[in-house]
Amino acid sequence: MSSSNNSNLVVILGTGGTIAGRAAQASDNVGYKAAELGVQQLLDAIPALAGRPLEAEQLAQLDSKDMDFATWQKLARRVAEHLARPEVAGLVITHGTDTLEETAFFLQRVLAPAKPVVLTAAMRPATALQTDGPQNLLDAVAVAVHPGARGVLTVFAGAIHSAEQVRKVHSYKVEAFASSDGALLGLVEEGVLRLLGAWPAAGDGLGLARIEARAATAWPRVQILLNHVGADGALVRALLAQGVDGLVVAGTGNGTLSHALEAALREARSAGVKVLRSTRCDAGPVMESAGALPSAGALSPVKARVQLLLDLLA
């Protein structure tokens, strides 16, 4: 896709989330209902966006804990269609925080866009006394029109993260996201970008054909397991009995596994199930070692699951 922009048009795709949530009381930051407001309502609440060339489209309206494969297919298709328009400088996607990192990584692996696709969200509902959504959305638009910006990005609390690095690291604070190995791309300060790193590479996406060859209901079944004190192989064998296509295991430390869990995972591999070994640590890679189960590298367990899904869809 061309990176030349003849316009500063930004397309805003709404998918719901806390940023569009409402609570009965302004002091209530947790007892709200997500995905209550439309994306155009979110834009109308930000005077600084008035007069900017924007298009708004409500693509979905859900709490991101309920994000699903069908919505991913639809979202990737619409993003690709808008990116192909020469008048579009970039896109912004409003999303819930719970699965934002998974959606961002999915879109980057599938599309690897040469224009910016910026996911943003909020930790406080739109009705909160100090809601964070409007500033996050304003900052996301600033990144979407920044010359040279590209790739799938997350803009949150003034920080710009790449889809590969971003992780939700706090359950409540408005500074809820971090780059897992400190690889922050940049900051948005009063609408001005201060870059700290390089934009993601463009042009190595897997393509829409990879995710549209099967209906969402027929996508591979990939589950995540956790190593912990007393971990055994019972869950692995139960999943094998139910039918599973792939397993990601969040190991301890450098992807280490109890003997019993590793033995069950090797049984699964022998039965044709794909296995990836990640870590339950907040950051850092799983190093390859001779004879060990395959490593997910620096991917978190949830991103390793996305990668395994895409591999299996091939």
Pair of tokens at residue 269: 């591999």
Pair of tokens at residue 314: 């091939």
Q: What are the DSSP E strand ranges found in the chain?
A: 9-16, 54-62, 88-94, 116-120, 151-156, 159-162, 166-168, 177-179, 186-189, 192-195, 222-226, 246-251, 274-279
Pair of tokens at residue 282: 């907040």
H helices of the chain, in order, are 39-44, 69-83, 100-111, 133-144, 208-212, 234-242, 259-270, 301-313
What gap in Å lies between CA 134 and CA 281, rounded to an integer? 32
Count CB neighbours of 75 within 10 A.
22
Candidate list 18, 71, 120, 279, residue with the active-site label: 18
The answer to whether residue 18 is catalytic is yes
What gap in Å lies between CA 219 and CA 62, rounded to an integer? 21
Q: Which residues are catalytic?
A: 18
